[in-house]
Amino acid sequence: MFSRKRLYKSFCDAGRGLRDVFKSEQNFRLQVFAAAVVVVLLIVLPLHNWERIVLILLMVMVLSMELLNSAMERLSDMLKPRLSPYIRMIKDIMAAAVLVTSLGALTVGILICWPYLVSFLK
C-alpha cells in the first residue's frame, strides 16, 4: 500500500546518502562538477533530443557507478581490513569500472559535442 510517509523517508535516506558521498568522496565531487558542465552544454548547444538523452544517461551512469563504488568500498572496509589483498583487488576492480564508464562517457560526449563546439566558437 502507498504510504506518503515511507516515500518521504526513502527520499530523505537517499538524500543523506548523496550528501555523505559528496562530502567524503573527491572523485564524486569532480564527477558532479563534470555533470554540471554537461548540463551547461545541454543548455547552450543546439543538440538534437537523442543527443541530449544520451548525454543525460551517461551522466547518470557515471554518477551511479561512483555511488556503487563508494558503497562497495564501505562494505569492504566493514568486512575485512584494508590490508587484505582481496579487499584491495575488489576496490581496484570497482575503481576500474568507474574509470571505464567515465572514459566511455567522455569519449561519447566529445564525439557528440565537438562539432557543435567548433561551430559555436567560430
pLDDT band for 79, please (50, 70, 90 cuts): confident
Share of the chain above pLDDT 70, in %: 98
The 10s digit of each residue's pLDDT in 85-116 is 888 898 999 999 999 999 999 999 999 999 99
Higher pLDDT, 122 or 110: 110
Please report the domains of the chain, with CATH numbers, ordered by start residue.
Answer: 4-121 (1.10.287.3610)
Residues 79 and 90: beta-carbon distance below 8 Å: no
Contacts of 99 (CB under 8 A, 6+ apart): none
8 A C-beta contact, residue 75 and residue 82:
no
The reported pLDDT for the residue numbered 82 is 64
In this predicted structure, what is the pLDDT of residue 107?
A: 98
Angle between helices 26-44 and 4-24 (to 10 degrees): 110
Looking at residue 1, its pLDDT comes to 66
Chain-centroid distance of CA 74 in Å reads 17
The CA distance from 57 to 64, in Å, is: 10
Cβ partners under 8 Å of residue 8, min gap 6: none
